[in-house]
Amino acid sequence: MERKIYIIFMVVVISLLFPHAVFADIGPKPSIKLIVLNPPEDEYYLDLLVDYDKKSSYSKIREYDGLNKDMIRILKEYHEDGWRPALVTGTRVPLFGKLTGQREGDSMVHNFSYVGTPDRFKVIIVEKSGKVTVSNDIIDRKAFKSIVYFDYATNRLWESSAVPAYIKQFIFTFTATLIVEGIILILFRFSLRKNLKPFIGANLITQILLTLVVYSAMYFAGSMAAFLIYIPFEIVILIIECKLYKKFLRQHSARRRVGYAVVANLTSFLLGMWAILQVWRFY
């Protein structure tokens, strides 16, 4: 039975992976979404400060971009304690971003992305008046898709925590799984009332494991890593649930219990893959 389960999963996996196997650079890239709180009232440019030497550097900033030359000059001349602006002086590998941000409510948002996204950085702001502001803090980036806040009023810089996102994701996936697999349980003519404890218990265990493993991979390595880990890990989840349901579900034969586990997990697997691919699209 386990061999048949594995074959079914491999067929699904190959069919899902085949459309994405053509291009080497289709995966999501690291990024930083930098939110400036209490931003300057004056026009300003913002850059990331990096602390490595510029050799064979890439720069996306050009004089003909219509930027303020005096502000660019101030940025280019900044070099203190080994820190220098990444966009205007260049990075080892390409970094995409703009010196100007977009207003969202009372805050300004700046986006940086691609393989040159720094793991360690500070923030510098140069205003039209010539005023230069540098963050007091240094960020050692933890997340693949990092959200960082800079409070201009206090010069404080920090990266948002993953814990609230983990909790929110667990609540969503656990609830959705209970609904989907609960419907399938009833369709297999199991009594939900008689099997409530093993049903909730098995899903609680597997969803905690799934959240810790798959969504940790998404946080630290991106949705491509989560996509690749999710496939084999779901096989592990399937085997665990087959054994649990075979032993603890009441009513019907062992074969039907295992059959329910296979159908329920395949359905959850496909819905989970769809959800990860939807996240992938936005990166």
| CA–CA distance, 36 with 149 (Å, rounded to integer) | 6
Per residue in 89-130, pLDDT (tens digit) is 988 888 999 999 999 999 999 999 988 889 899 999 999 999
CATH class assigned to 31-159: mainly beta
Q: What residues does CATH 2.60.40 cover in the chain?
A: 31-159
Task: Output the six-digit token pair for 191.
Answer: 């009594």
Containing 121, the helix (H) or strand (E) segment is strand 120-127
Amino acid 278: pLDDT = 58
How large is the average pLDDT for residues 260-268?
Answer: 92
Using alpha carbons, list the distances in angstroms from residue 52 to 15, 46, 79, 118, 120: 43, 19, 11, 10, 10
| CA–CA distance, 8 with 19 (Å, rounded to integer) | 18
Sequence-ordered list of residues with C-beta below 8 angstroms from that of 235, at least 6 positions apart, any chain? 5, 6, 9
How large is the average pLDDT for residues 135-158?
Answer: 92
- Whether the per-residue pLDDT at 14 is higher than 80: the answer is no
Helices 2-17 and 254-281: crossing angle, nearest 10°?
Answer: 20
Give the pLDDT band (50/70/90) at residue 224: low
Give the pLDDT band (50/70/90) at residue 198: very high
